[in-house]
Structures are given as C-alpha cells and as structure tokens.
C-alpha cells in the first residue's frame, strides 16, 4: 500500500537532513512555521559545507586552499600585468584583511605571487601573479571547473538556470545592503554614505 504524503512533501527516500529537522519541529511546535526560513537557509548552509569540502579536497592536492585559489584567480582575471593591491584583493575575495595577509604570505613563500612597488604610492606595493602562479592556474583550472560541474549534475539545465536567477536575486539584495560581507560597521556606514544620493 502506497504511503500518503502531505502536499509538496517528498517521499521518504528523497528527504534530506533539513526535512527531518522540519518534521521534528512540526511535532514539537506545530505553530512555528519554518517552511520559508529554515527550509532555505539551513539548506544553503549545508550545501555550502559539502561544496567547500569537495573544493578543499581538489585544491589540497596542489598545495592550495579555497582562499589561496580565490586570490590567484582574482589576480589572473584582472588581466595583464596580473596585479592588484591587497585592499582590492580583499574586496574581490570577500575575506577578512587578516586572513588575506596570511594567505598572501603563504602564496609568496610558494613563489606563486610577488610584491611589486606601487607607482602611485611608494609606501605600498601591488601583489602580482608570477609565471609559476599562472602555470598552476592553467593546470588546476580545468579540473576545478569539472569538479564544480560534477557537483551540479543532479540538476537539469532548466533547474540550473532557475537556481542561478534566484541566487542572483538574493545576492543582489545582500550586496546592496553590504557590498563586503566581512566589512566592519564603520565600513558599512561609509559604503552607505557613498551610495546614498546627494541632497538637493
């Protein structure tokens, strides 16, 4: 005899951890509606944890981390001469300045980046991708793309397009309120003033 399911509920073999959490809450507190909060946010968090693990596994084979890969990639896509200031890198990869400083030291020690004088400010320097860094990107890049494509294989092309549009809509709302996730309260206020229309 086929088991009846509530409207929209997946069959037992297609339920995930969050479905089980929601079922527990429905039993313990039926008046608490988590269908449009935990159902989404918890899944985003758990999916990210799985994605991070898969990415770390691949990058680790080449002596990289997710963060060091992001730094190398942002330098490469900046175009010749493949260099940015540390502040620009921090904004691109959305990490704290302390974490970026540690990553830059490690990449410089590995010979994947170097420091070059800033022609506009002799007290600071630019970070530049080295030839060794470019070669590593060329080697790992196709493997990284294939790894990401593999993780997305459960979704059809139409589902991927729909998910892309929905995530973009959500991300735009966050970026408008706070362009850099790790910005301090003072930095967020400054960004708000910079984007606020001038009074007539």
Distance between CA atoms of 144 and 165, rounded to whole angstroms? 22
pLDDT at 10: 77
- Report phi then psi at 80, rounded to 5: -60, 140
Name the stretches of the chain with pLDDT < 70: 1-9, 122, 182-200
pLDDT at 155: 97
pLDDT at 89: 92
pLDDT at 161: 97
User: 109, exposed or middle or buried, with CB in 10 Å at 0-12, 13-18, 19+?
Assistant: exposed
Q: What is the largest CA-CA distance in the chain?
A: 78
161 beta partners: none
Could you give the 3-state DSSP secondary structure of residue 81? coil
Q: CA dist 156 to 3, 143, 149, Å?
A: 28, 21, 12
Could you give the 3-state DSSP secondary structure of residue 122? strand
Q: What are 160-172's pLDDT values in tens digits?
A: 999 999 999 999 9
pLDDT at 143: 98
Query: What is the fold of 63-150?
Result: Arc Repressor Mutant, subunit A (1.10.10)
Could you give the 3-state DSSP secondary structure of residue 63? coil
CA atoms lying within 13 Å on the CB side of residue 26: 11
Distance between CA atoms of 200 and 197, rounded to whole angstroms? 9
Distance between CA atoms of 42 and 53, rounded to whole angstroms? 17
């Amino acid at each position: 005899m086929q088991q009846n399911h509530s409207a929209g509920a997946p069959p037992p073999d297609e339920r995930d951890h969050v479905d089980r959490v929601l079922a527990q809450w429905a039993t313990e507190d039926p008046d608490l509606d988590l269908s449009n909060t935990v159902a989404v946010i918890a899944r985003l968090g758990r999916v990210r944890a799985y994605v991070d693990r898969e990415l770390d596994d691949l990058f680790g084979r080449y002596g990289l981390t997710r963060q060091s890969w992001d730094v190398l990639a942002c330098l490469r896509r900046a175009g010749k001469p493949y260099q940015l200031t540390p502040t620009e890198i921090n904004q691109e990869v959305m990490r704290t300045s302390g974490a970026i400083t540690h990553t830059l030291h490690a990449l410089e020690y590995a010979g994947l980046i170097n420091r070059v004088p800033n022609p506009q400010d002799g007290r600071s320097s630019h970070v530049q991708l080295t030839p060794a860094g470019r070669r590593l990107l060329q080697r790992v890049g196709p493997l990284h793309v294939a790894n990401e494509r593999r993780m997305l294989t459960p979704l059809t092309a139409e589902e991927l397009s729909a998910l892309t549009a929905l995530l973009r809509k959500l991300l735009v709302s966050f970026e408008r309120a706070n362009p850099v996730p790790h910005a301090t309260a003072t930095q967020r206020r400054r960004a708000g003033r910079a984007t606020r229309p001038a009074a007539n």
